[in-house]
Amino acid sequence: MEKGYLSIVLHAHLPYVRHPEFDDFMEEDWLYEAVTETYIPLIDIFESLINEGVKFKVTISLSPTLISMLTDPLLQGRYIKHIEKLVELAEKECHRTSSQPQQNGLARMYLDKFKRARYVFAEKNGGNLINAIRALNDTGFVEVITCAATHGYLPLSSVNKAAVRAQIKTAVDCFKKHFGKTPLGMWLPECGYEPPDDKYLAEFGVRYFFVDTHGILHGSPRPKYGVFAPVYTKNGVAAFGRDIESSRAVWSAEEGYPGDHNYREFYRDIGFDLEHDYIRPYIHIDGTRINTGIKYYKITGKTNDKQLYDPKAAAEKAAEHAGNFMFNRQLQTEHIHDFINKKPIILSPYDAELYGHWWYEGPTWLYYLFKKLHHDQDTIRTVTPSQYLSENPKNQVITPSMSSWGWKGYSEVWLEGSNDWIYRHIHEAQNRMVELAKTHFNCQNGALKRALNQAARELLLLESSDWPFIMKTGTVVPYAVKRIRDHTIAFTRLYESIKANAIDEGYLAGLEGKDNLFPEIDFKMYAEGRS
């Protein structure tokens, strides 16, 4: 007997990294890796499930920056060159390992994988994966939603509500352009929420969003059902809270499934392991070693003596873990149902890039999980948040607490010693953008309007939460610092030229060619109450 619901949400996001001024830019590989290792494998498993008659529901959030990159002709062309090189490398690996049966089998596995990615991307979808994702959305099995425009961390923009509104409006407009309708839900970047920012979601027709667990539990008044039922805000938008138990099963470094010793080791790649002269044509143009995606070893354990990866054993372990996840959700649902006397919804949100990129077997795990949920039990049913709301329209009204996910749960990842210096520049740019929008609201001049719209793009890119996150985690810090400085300088130069009525159209055209996302953007959105 059905006793509850499971809602799996995958958040797909990458910062806008596009550098036409370089032939080979290392950070663009983030997109190419995600396409090969996450997006195409997920598309494949969802299509397979549909073709096999498996009834499932999953929600995918696509950030507008990711949508913009996936639909950009320059990056589409560069991805095809990237995957062609990987096919060539895998063919060389098949030859190099011909006397090593186990490694040769893995080399052939990667060759098949890369050829499949090339086919799905270039031939099946004409270089535009949004076509495939839109088709999945149209089936009803996959619900595609959006995220704030450039993944701007909204609570730290709360000093300028026009900037918060612009992040949301731009996202909704982008989604409408590519999917032909208003998104039903929105993933607030980093699950960062501050009341009453949901009023902008309501304004643009978004029906629901997500918060971390304590965002619901610390709400006012206290939620009657905890995180096991959504709540409505006073603006009529539903907030769903993350379930800790199901999240821990996948996220936890200590007890999560991805750490199993049978799974593929992420940190052993031939881009670092093989002779430099051999691998040089397939790494960065300056000779810097990078991940190629060809990895021959399994996690093995806390040792440097790694054993060769066994795909069959890993797939069997993924099926076992899928069964374990299902069993635990059944027990959890039955317990909660009997306790609250209501069908609970278990909300399990994850970064999409975990599946396939970081956790190579993640898409396989999802495939087995949905099959098992369909065939092997009737206690829980997978739903999307909008489906749940349609079936359960009456919910408690509370004000969720200001919250985020990440360390300590209250913005500390995005505001601490390594990155706090950026906000004086962001806030000043936000104030100046509002000033420009109000002053030039009725602008008809072509060059001036272009400059105003480009200023809005530079501000949105400056606001991306990825830059302070990178500074906090200490990965590619110089790049993040450079992006903050570049967008601040570009915005400031545009602002001063607009104020002086001295627009440099050559400089403007250069910015438009590089930072070219959101072509239909309208700067007037910053004049809140007038647009």
Distances in Å between the Cα of 372 and the Cα atoms of 145, 332, 388 are 26, 17, 21
CA angle 265, 270, 271 (to 5 degrees): 115
> Prior bond to 519 cis, omega within 30?
no
The identity of residue 261, as a single letter, is: H
Catalytic residue among 29, 173, 190, 528: 190
d(CA 474, CA 480): 10
The pairing of strands 142-147 and 345-351 is unpaired
d(CA 58, CA 50): 12
Q: Burial, 502: exposed, middle or buried (Cβ in 10 Å; 0-12, 13-18, 19+)?
A: exposed
The residues, any chain, with a CB within 8 Å of residue 516's CB and separated by 6 or more, are 18, 72
The identity of residue 405, as a single letter, is: W
Distances in Å between the Cα of 56 and the Cα atoms of 26, 46, 366, 375 are 37, 9, 11, 11
Q: Are 434 and 459 in contact (CB under 8 A)?
A: no
Closest CA to 387 of 15, 58, 49, 24: 58
First to last CA, the chain: 51
Compute the radius of gyration of the chain from its Cα atoms.
24
260 is catalytic: no
351 is catalytic: yes
Closest CA to 346 of 247, 280, 478: 247
SS3 at position 301: coil
Paired residues of 7 in beta bridges: 347
Distances in Å between the Cα of 382 and the Cα atoms of 71, 205, 372, 428 are 30, 24, 12, 45
Q: Are 159 and 402 in contact (CB under 8 A)?
A: no
DSSP at 300: -
Q: How far is CA 207 from the centre of its chain?
A: 20
Residue located via tokens 């060759």: 111
Determine how many CB atoms are found less than 10 A away from the CB of residue 287. 9
* Lookup: tokens for 184: 């039903």
Distances in Å between the Cα of 59 and the Cα atoms of 99, 153, 185, 190, 379 are 45, 21, 9, 17, 20
Catalytic residue among 273, 320, 351, 512: 351
The pairing of strands 345-351 and 380-382 is unpaired
Determine how many CB atoms are found less than 10 A away from the CB of residue 390. 11
| Host H or E run for residue 348 | strand 345-351
Residues marked as catalytic = 190, 351
